[in-house]
Amino acid sequence: MNRITMIVFIIIQFFAASVFAETIKVSVEPFPPLINEDKTGASITLLKEIEKVTDLKFEIIIAPYNRAKLDLKSGKTDLIGHTPHGKETQDFYAYAQDLAWSIPAVTDIYAMKKETIEPSSFAAIKVIGVPRGNKEFFSELYKIPLTKLYEGELDNLLKMLKIGRINAFIFERASSMETLKKLKIEGVSYKALEVIGASFGTRKDAQGSALKEKLDKAIKTIDVKKIYKGYETYTNMPSKGVVRLK
């Protein structure tokens, strides 16, 4: 094979791969630093690495978690993230399934008053903020009445926490602390509730199961530890304290 023929062959192979690549719509909620609003972050890098070892092409859509779940259920999207591995509601698992893979993520409760985050004070908390789409999940997981939970965007909820519009906030540690740093909100106390795996979810049908199998196999061939290097800083933090902005 001469040089010109080889170049033509490579070009044909490139376009063939592009034509026959399967496009997968992925709806993901902002989960900094794993998923950022500008479609960057460690988990976006993971998807790009999966593209390199499969015939998949991901179309990434930034959306609130409740929208992502609705679109997965209706078939408008094929993959969503991050899902709480094995911890979602019974309703969710009626139509969806997690990948076999997950990354450990600490769930915290946050408050401006230190005493609010102590278990003895939980029952007295009037309003707890949670990111949109997580109300039923946290209600079922921690037996919190739905009437006590208030949904909204991550940034807005933490601003509301600062001025006392909500009494506490529950969500994953890294994204919560990164957002507090971005907003320069000082004096927020936190306490770990538990470690929940952050994963991706597909539909529980033939197409979704085939996608899950392909993704599970692909992830095993990727250096995931390298992609998420530094994230363990959050899981290794003290179980409670005051959020540091530096």
- What's the pLDDT at 8? 46
Q: Which domains does the chain have, with CATH numbers?
A: 3-102+198-235 (3.40.190.10), 105-195 (3.40.190.10)
pLDDT at 17 over 50: no
pLDDT value at 246 more than 90: no
Q: Which residue has the higher pLDDT, 230 or 212?
A: 212
Residues 7, 113: Cα–Cα separation, whole Å: 66
Task: Look at residue 21 in the predicted model and tell me its pLDDT.
Answer: 72
Query: What distance in Å separates the CA atoms of residue 47 and residue 80, rounded to the nearest whole number?
Result: 12
Average pLDDT over residues 59-82: 97
User: Tell me, what's the pLDDT at 122?
Assistant: 85
- The pLDDT value given to residue 123: 86
Q: What is the mean pLDDT of residues 197-208?
A: 97
Q: Which two tokens stand for residue 229?
A: 């290097």
Section 188-197 average pLDDT: 96
Query: Band of the pLDDT at 7, cuts 50, 70, 90?
Result: low
**Mean pLDDT for the chain overall:** 92
- Give residue 5's pLDDT band: very low, low, confident or very high (50, 70, 90): low
How far apart (Å, rounded) are the C-alpha atoms in residues 220 and 165? 44
In the chain, % of residues over pLDDT 90: 87
**CA dist 198 → 34, 48, 84, 187 (Å):** 10, 18, 5, 27
Which tens digit of pLDDT belongs to each residue from 21-39?
Answer: 799 999 999 999 999 999 9
Angle between helix axes 206-219 and 42-53 (nearest 10 degrees) is 100
- For residue range 134-156, what is the model confidence (pLDDT) as tens digits? 999 999 999 999 999 999 999 99
Which residues make beta-bridge pairs with 109?
Answer: 170, 191
Q: For the residues 56-68, what does the mean pLDDT come to?
A: 96
* pLDDT at residue 110 greater than cutoff 80: yes
81 bridge partner residues: 28, 200
Residue 81 CA: distances (Å) to CA of 17, 46, 55, 93? 26, 12, 20, 14
Secondary-structure breakdown of the chain: helix, strand, coil percentages, each rounded to the nearest 5: 45, 25, 30
> Average pLDDT of 226-239?
93
- Give me 54's structure tokens: 């499969």
For the whole model, what pTM was predicted? 0.86
The answer to whether 177 and 160 have CB atoms below 8 angstroms apart is no
The pLDDT of 100-111, averaged and rounded, is 97
Nearest in space to 102 (alpha carbons), one of 122, 119, 120, 87: 87
- The whole-number pLDDT of residue 18 equals 47
Q: Residues 70-74: what's their mean pLDDT?
A: 97
Q: How far apart are CA 110 and CA 117, in angstroms?
A: 7
